[in-house]
Every structure is written in structure tokens, then in C-alpha cells.
Structure 1
Amino acid sequence: MMQAKNIRVRLGRKEVLHGVEFTAQTGQVTAIIGPNGSGKSTLLKTLSGELVGTGTVLLNGHDIAKLRPWELAAMRGVLPQQTTVAFPFTVHEIVRLGLSNGLAAAEEDLPSQALAHVDLAGFENRSYQNLSGGEQQRVQLARVLTQVWEARDQDQPRWLLLDEPVASLDIAHQFTVLGIARDFAAKGGGVVVVMHDLNLTALFADLVYVLSEGHMWMSGTVSEVLNTETMKQVYGIDLPINTLPPTDIPFVLPQALSG
């Protein structure tokens, strides 16, 4: 389990998270949604240990503030929203960095396996700087996967923390990446993902948290959370939510605003 209790985070003079409570279970994909500036990335950074506020974050029962860096790295891999690489690394060198932070450093074939997993087989010797934005994002995901390759280490689950992992991807690779997240959860790991695309959230998330202006507005299943009231109150748009039979999965149709 991952659990955050009464999380408050200040950036400069502004408090951007206000007493947030959050729980994610292994075996599930837990999504965090909300408008721009609502605190989604800040929350994910706090859950990962990158940002420190007040309150407590527990990962597999451990207070992350008391874990050594290598202990934390062995339990969770983090894909940030953007990654800047200033030096002329090859793709293999980038992905290989994940092994230095995880528990599988001796498994030299993992970078190639991870690249194949994100549909980049044969890219090992390509220059990272010459890739498209979507390809770079998938390289970074491959790096994270090498860090937590197995969803469970004996009795301890591992976690993927993903910040807008499909924002720069075409629709086919959006499904590839979110399919990887679902597979990781199905194997007993935990996944927490920040999302903007509500339709993809509806397809892949088991549990959804909605942030609004640094407050946790609500949480629940996709059907409980994605509704017309959420669109009005959180996103400020009068856009009806429809459902697809026979599963009744909610979906957002922007064209519904026309006319």
C-alpha cells in the first residue's frame, strides 16, 4: 500500500497542497486527475520523495522520510513529466541508468528487454538527442522499468509513479504505455499515474483521485468520479459525460458542447 496522510506542501510562499489524503493499493492503477495547476505533479513528487512537505508518506508500510535513497529506489521508479539530458548519450546509456538505482544491476540484457517492451527494439545505439519527443519519453520509461523490472521482490511490491506518461505519444503508443502500467499492476505491483486524458483514464484506471486547487475534491471508481458534476465543479465546463454499453465506461465527447 502507498498512503499519504495530511500532506501539505509549500512552494515559496504559496501552499499548493492542503492536507491531502491519498491511498493506492497494489494490483491497481490509481490515477490522479484535475485541471492545470491543481497540484497533481506536486502530489506525485511528494509521494516519490522528491518534494518534502508536512504530513507522512508511507510506502509498503515504510515512512519514506526514513528510507535511505537506495532503499527508496529499490521500491519505486519515477517517470517525471519532462526530463532534460544535456550530454550526448546513446539510448542504451540512458536506459542503463535505471540499473544503477535498482536491484538488477547485474542483468545486462535488461535495457534491451525494456526498450522492446516500449516498442523501441534496436534503438540502443541511437543518439537520444536525435529522437522525437515521444520516443524520448518511451526511452525514459524503459529506464524506469529497468529499475523496477519485476513487479514484486519476494513479498515486497514495487511501484511505478508516472507523471503524464502519454502526453507526447500517438494513440497507439498511448495504449502501449498504459498497457504496460496495467500489466505491472496485474503482476502485483502498484501504479500511480497523473493523467489529463479523461477517456484514457476511464479505460485504464481502477481508482481515480480528483484534485482541485490543491484540495482532494473526491475519489472513487471511474464511474463514481467521471460525471457531469465533476466537469462543472472541477473543470468549469458544462460538458455531459456519456457511457459506453455494455460496460458503462464513461467517456467525454467534446463535440457535445457544439450547438
Structure 2
Amino acid sequence: MNASPPTLAPFDVTLRGVRIRYVDGGPRDAPAIVMLHGLGRDHAQWTALGAALAGRRRVVALDLPGFGASAPLPGATSFEALAESVLDVVAALELGRATWLGHSIGAAAAIVAAADRPEFVERVVLVAPVCYPVPRRFDDRVTSAPLLGRTLGRRVLGARVLRRYVGEDVAASALGLTWRLLEEGRTPKTIEARVPRVRAPALVVWGREDDVAPWTHGTRLARELAQARLEILDCGHFPESERPSNVEALVRDFLGLSTTGVGERGERAAHRARGAVR
């Protein structure tokens, strides 16, 4: 009989006056993986993958400030501020040098941390990161209205993806903050310029049908990073939800946790058969 996957337990920590929700699981003395959610989501985005990895890694998945059960940051939110909040948690939990795994805006925060504070980042997994300018879709006036937030969430993410992976109410409340980060001109200044400074090994995962950040950003990112492996999957903006088995196998391989008896070549062949391209 197979053992149940490790449980990720919820905790709150208050740092610099801001309450941060996170879940924590796995061996306390194992290397840590810090998981950061993306567009309009919270730590639950990584529940399945986190539980799968927690048998051999310590897994800490956060609600970024202003998302999920975490309090918002005082003043303006920026990618630097998000990264600093995560670094505060990493230091408070004494995680040391960790693997940072992020999606979308969470991956952008991971890029900031890897460039500015490399002593805390051993390697990065970047899933469809916001790292180059994205198309302007709507403004703050639109996202401030819940009904219009839902409507535009359907337009940006697709109705099926929105219902299944995000939820319309969550999208309505969180898309405004997300897109303010993307549209205030900070992305090219704070993320794009940092990419060449990331020296940590990187796994870049992108969806070929991504309507938020095009997959061609992935080819550019892999080219500009010092050490990068690029995987393009046949999916949209949420590879970890749309192709969970592919993403789990890729992350395991990248971390040296490949399934016993499969091996690196076998796993990569399986990825290609399911639509992954290296």
C-alpha cells in the first residue's frame, strides 16, 4: 500500500509588520524549495507538486503579500518588495540557500532574489515568468470592478482556465494588483535588467499557448541566463496545472530527484512524447 504524500501545514509569520501565510512540510534538515505562486493565485497553486516533493525536500509555499491570506504591503507594491518579503521568510525560517520555484509574478520575484541576493538562491525554476514587457490589457479602473474583473479575467486567461485553475472571484480581486505590477513600467526596469545577473542554474518552463506572456520570451530568457534549460509544453499560462505530470518530472530531474528506474534519458523522452520540447 502506497504511503500518503507528506502534509503541508499552514502557518503565519509577521515580519516588518506584515502577516505572511505559508505552508511548510518535508524533512526539516533537507534542502529547501521555496514556492511562489503567480497570477491571481495563492500557495494552493503548488499543493500537489509541493506534496510530491516533500518526501525528499523541505517545501515552503507562500501567499505573496496582498494575495491569499497574506496581508498587503504598506505603500506601493513592487517586485523588489515581494522578493524582500520572501527573503525575510527564508531568513526567519533559516532555510539557507534554497531552490526558488515560481510562476509568473512569483518567478519574477525569484529572478530579483537570485540577482540581488544570490547567497539565498541555489537554483531557480521559472514557470512562465514575467520578465519582459507584456501587452497592456486593461487599466486600474477596469480591474477595480469585480464584474469587469471577471470578464477581463476570461479574456486574458480563457474562461476554462479561469474557472478551473484560478476562480472568478479570486481573479476579480487579485488581477488588479497583478496587472498594476505588470503595467507600471517596472517589468523592463527591474526584471529584464536583472536576468543576465542570475548565475544560479535555471529550469525555464513555458506553455506554447500562453496568452499572458508569449513562449518566445522563454527562448530569450534561456539565452540571457548564465545556466538555463528550457522546456516548452503544449499548454497555456499554467503549466503546473495543465500539465502537472510533465512539470513534476521536469522539476524532479532538475533537482536530481528522478524516479528510480526511469533515469534522465527516459524522463526526457517521456516529456517529448507528451509535448515537451527541450
Superposition TM-score tier, normalisation by shorter sequence: 0.3 to 0.5
- The structure whose residues are more often strand, as a share, is 1
User: What's the TM-score once normalised by structure 2's chain length?
Assistant: 0.34
> Which has the larger Rg?
1
User: What's the TM-score once normalised by structure 1's chain length?
Assistant: 0.36
The structure showing larger relative contact order (alpha-carbon pairs under 8 Å, at least 6 residues apart) is 1
